Amino acid sequence: MNRRKLWGLFGVIGSIGLLVMYTYLLFFTSERTQQIVARLTLYAFVVFLLLGFILVGIGILRTPQIPPIRELNDENTCSSENNEKSS
């Protein structure tokens, strides 16, 4: 079996294992453990959501602003400006 399929198999088996463990912790343990697991899950969800917003904001801040494209005529002025002047 090649390395790629081995990593894929490990990912599937690992995910199923974590799902089984999470389900057990959330539904079949003491109420205190269930509360802790639910709170940690909610906290992790909010953290990842806000990290996504932070990454999008950083991406917007780092992207250079693209100037609007203006069509220039022979006199290096915008043709729409010339049309307004002649009207």
Burial string for 37-59 (b: 16+ CB within 10 Å, else e) reads beeeeeeeeeeeeeeeeeeeeee
Asked if the model's pLDDT at residue 8 lies above 70, the reply is yes
**Number of domains the chain contains:** 1
Q: What is the pTM of this model?
A: 0.64
For 49-82, how does the pLDDT look when each residue is reduced to its tens digit (9 = 90+)?
999 999 999 999 999 888 777 766 666 666 565 5
pLDDT confidence of residue 1: 83
Range of the domain at 48: 1-87
In whole angstroms, what is the distance from residue 16 CA to residue 59 CA?
A: 34
Asked if the model's pLDDT at residue 3 lies above 70, the reply is yes
pLDDT confidence of residue 66: 82
